[in-house]
Amino acid sequence: MSENSSAPFIPEPSGDIPAPPRWRIFGSPIFFRLWLAQVVSSTGDWIGLIAILAIASRISGNAGAAVSLVMLARVVPGFFLGTIGGVIIDRFDRRLVMVVCDLARATLLLTLPFVNNLFQLILVSFGLEVLTLLWGPAKDAALPNIVDKDQLKSANSLSLVASYATFPLASLIFALLASLAAWLGSLGVISSFSVDQEALALFVDSFTFLFSALIVFSLPIPNDHQRHEGRIDFTQTGRDIKEGLKFIASHSRVKAVMIGLGLGLIGSGAMIPLGATFAEESLGGDAATFGLLMTALGLGAAGGVITLLLLQNRLPRETVFEYAVMGTGAFLIITVSFSSPLPAVMSTFAVGACAGTAYVTGFTVLQETVRDELRGRTFATLYVVIRMCLLISLVFSPLWADFWSWFIGLFADDPTAYLGSTRYVFSGVRLALWGGGLMTLGAGLWAHRTWARSNDTSATAVESPIDESDAS
């Protein structure tokens, strides 16, 4: 099937005639279809996650602990299987890997309506995350093979939109499924199958993965690593992992992205577990205030991605990345310095804009830098780093805030100060978030210094030598 026939909505350009401007943002018809599959499956995945958390709360006597265990099952696999998954991605057809993962996830989701204990729910959640650890890096590693180099930033921006901007839509669909479940429950035949909101959500999620598998299977995704395709020698796996890690450690561009995103996520990610407390103690707000902060964060990320799409070829990748990471830290410090909701919400929008820009640009730098046969391992490692840093932020940020609350209590019974008529709270949460902002700012400065002092270039990284006898 030709590229033209597989995407009838885009006529194939002839000669030097460019593609129609309205479709140029996607780079290629193949990527448009891959992006469409990602939009559908991401929407379903958010719906499924909401349903899984709802089931965890319902079937366990301790809802909070059950939800935490399920979320832990979605994070832990990355620590053990990320690099091994990268080896698989680099040795097999990436299109086939994505299709198999989609079909397997669809099958696992169909079993969840019949789950009646927490252990089974955790086990299925673990399996879903393992498959996601293969699908995501496989997609990221394949992007440079289906879009031009100058379209990578646009492709990554659109992928970010597909992954996270679909959450509001998923929430709306999940809410509507409650009405559909009630209507179905009123029917005599269907009511005997105990069709509820969570079950319908899981069926919808399963269907989205089937849709994604069908789309991906039809895509002519090329492979530049044919010498590895279709076979894996498990005695070679350890050497492959070592080779991938050595490559990451030996190139400043790759290290800068890994450390910049990792430390930035530890620092700025503290807003997730501490945001609600910050909104209440420091801003004098409530749960609605925290909701506004999170909404501003999401809208800011979307705004940053859109701006990046418009300016993608006008600014150097490294400069955008390092200043975006620094901006995330600086605006986080500014955000937590406010004592009223409105300026804090506006500053949080800027935090999201910088964070979204850093994320997209970091992925683009890696895709432009890493050779095809190492790209799967590199992105699998990046996913491990992201999950590890997120877990560190979620677990240790509250402990860090408690430490500062204890420390402040040694010197003052009341952390509240008044600057004229303005009430200012020097709480442990505020100090912890200031520290997170400083860490993120430092990560951006480190990336800037690393690139400024290094003679390592993109071309050098791409042409990094590799022992053909070892890799074969």
Check whether 461 has a pLDDT greater than 60.
no
Per-residue pLDDT, averaged over 257-279, amounts to 82
The pLDDT of residue 243 is: 58
- Could you give the CA distance from residue 335 to residue 339 in angstroms, rounded to a whole number? 9
Check whether 263 has a pLDDT greater than 60.
yes
191 phi and psi angles, rounded to 5 deg:
-60, -25
Q: What is the pTM of this model?
A: 0.64
Please give the helix or strand (H or E) that residue 416 lies within, else none.
strand 416-419
Task: Find where tokens 């598998």 sit.
Answer: 213
Give the CA angle between residues 445, 433, 333 to the nearest 5°.
55
Query: Per CATH, is 233-455 categorized as 3.40.50.300?
Result: no
More reliable by pLDDT, 50 or 472: 50
The pLDDT of residue 234 is: 46
Where are the CATH 1.20.1250.20 domain residues in the chain? Answer: 1-10+22-230, 233-455
Q: Which of the given ranges, 92-101, 171-180, 234-243, has the highest pLDDT on average?
A: 92-101
The pLDDT confidence band at residue 195, using thresholds 50, 70 and 90, is: low
Give the CA angle between residues 227, 84, 365 to the nearest 5°.
75
Q: Is 419 helix (H, G, I), strand (E, B) or coil?
A: strand
* CA distances from residue 191 to 52, 173, 181, 206 in whole angstroms, order as listed: 21, 21, 9, 21
More reliable by pLDDT, 4 or 121: 121
Of residues 55, 53, 34, the one with CA closest to residue 113:
55
Q: Which two tokens stand for residue 307?
A: 């701006």
The CB density around residue 62, as the number of other CB atoms within 10 Å, is: 11
In eight-state DSSP terms, residue 422 is E
Of residues 68, 84, 145, the one with CA closest to residue 383:
84
Of residues 73, 98, 74, 72, the one with CA closest to residue 85:
98
The pLDDT of residue 329 is: 92
Q: In sequence order, what are the residues at sequence separation of 6 or more whose Cβ sits closer than 8 angstroms to the Cβ of residue 297?
A: 271, 348, 349, 351, 352, 355
416 phi and psi angles, rounded to 5 deg:
-90, 135
Buried b (16+ CB within 10 A) or exposed e, 323-358: bbbbbbbbbbbbbbbbbebeebbebbbbbbbbbbbb
The pLDDT of residue 27 is: 65
pLDDT tens digits for range 290-325: 778 877 887 887 788 777 777 766 777 778 888 999
CATH of domain 1-10+22-230: 1.20.1250.20
Of residues 207, 250, 225, 234, the one with CA closest to residue 374:
225
Task: Find where tokens 């890096």 sit.
Answer: 137
pLDDT tens digits for range 277-292: 888 888 887 767 877 8
Per-residue pLDDT, averaged over 85-113, amounts to 85
The pLDDT of residue 210 is: 94
Give the sign of the dihedral formed by CA 221, CA 227, CA 230, CA 231.
negative
Please give the helix or strand (H or E) that residue 220 lies within, else none.
none
Instruction: Say which amino acid occupies 73.
Output: A
In contact, 47 and 174? CB cutoff 8 Å: yes
Q: In sequence order, what are the residues at sequence separation of 6 or more whose Cβ sits closer than 8 angstroms to the Cβ of residue 179?
A: none
